[in-house]
Amino acid sequence: MKTTVYRDATADDATAIARIQVDTWWTTYRGIMPDAVLERLSYERSEANWRTGLENPQSRSFVKLACDENDTVLGFAAAGPEREGSHGFDGEIYAIYVLQSAQRGGLGVGLVTAAAIKLLARGIDNMIIWVLRDNPLGRGFYERIGGEQVTEREISIGGVMMPEIGYGWRDLAGSLKRDFGRLD
């Protein structure tokens, strides 16, 4: 049986996080997002951005990692306070990515659970996550774990306007028991 460890990321994890983010964008968003946007992705730029964020002592956000028994990073979730203040949620998962080779094994649910537990520990009892409207796998995942479609917006990605759907959980403690499951 494989063991998954969920832990907080440090600046030393920036390279692994960047690789997962870029690789996952290439596999998940091909056909959803213009190829020109995907071709501009860079491991180096992504790593620099993650390292800067992880090294910032003033940051109120955090990154949870899903690692195998050898501490190889297989996925991550970045979360913290809700950023817009206009949708009635206090917490937000900003990003969640799992390597394609590790998907469908429970890591996504584990990462949502780990993020929710940390938000609850900070006194945040609800959260929102955004997903591209044209990403049926992402939308289906959030719906299966109890996310309720609460709002929509358009965002600019690489100069291209893309519709997003916000899924919310108003009761994180209840969702942990009912929808997310438990961490081992």
The DSSP bridge pattern shows strands 127-132 and 73-81 to be unpaired
Domains and CATH numbers, the chain: 5-180 (3.40.630.30)
pLDDT 10s digits, 162-181: 999 999 999 998 888 776 76
Mean pLDDT of 105-118: 93
Q: Which spans in 7-133 are helix H?
A: 14-28, 35-39, 43-55, 107-121
Which H helix or E strand runs over 177?
none
> What's the pLDDT at 179?
67
> What's the pLDDT at 184?
35
> What's the pLDDT at 57?
87
**CA distance to 18, 61, 97, 100, per residue, from 25 (Å):** 11, 21, 9, 10
pLDDT 10s digits, 40-86: 999 999 999 999 999 998 899 999 999 999 999 999 999 999 998 87
pLDDT 10s digits, 123-158: 999 999 999 999 999 999 999 999 999 999 999 988
d(C-alpha 66, C-alpha 69), whole Å: 10
Which of 144, 145, 124, 135 is closest to 165 using CA atoms? 135
Confidence of residue 183 (pLDDT cuts 50, 70, 90): very low
d(C-alpha 143, C-alpha 18), whole Å: 27
Sign of the dihedral defined by the CA atoms of residues 99, 100, 106, 110, in that order: positive
Which of 132, 171, 154, 118 is closest to 38 using CA atoms? 132
Confidence of residue 118 (pLDDT cuts 50, 70, 90): very high
